[in-house]
Copies of this chain bind each other. A is one copy, B any other.
Amino acid sequence: MTEHDTPPTEISPTEQAGRFARAREKQSMAILEDYVEMIGDLIAMHGEARVADIAERMGVAHPTATKAVARLKREGLATSRPYRGVFLTDKGEALANWVRVRHRTVVDLLIAVGVPQETAEADAEGIEHHVSRRTLKAFEAYLTDK
**Chain A residues with a Cβ closer than 8 Å to the other chain, count:** 61
Q: Is the beta-carbon distance between B7 and A45 smaller than 8 angstroms?
A: yes
Given contacts A113-B139, A127-B130, 6 further A-B pairs with CB under 8 A are A20-B60, A116-B134, A119-B132, A123-B132, A126-B129, A127-B127
Residues of A contacting B: mostly: helix
Q: Mark A103-133, 1 if CB is under 8 A from B, else 0.
A: 1100001100111100111110111011110
Q: Which of A8-16, A70-78, A83-91 contacts B (4 or more CB under 8 A)?
A: A8-16
Residues of A within 8 A of B (CB): 1-9, 11, 13, 16-23, 26-27, 30, 34, 41, 44-47, 53, 56-60, 100, 103-104, 109-110, 113-116, 119-123, 125-127, 129-132, 134-135, 138-139, 141-142
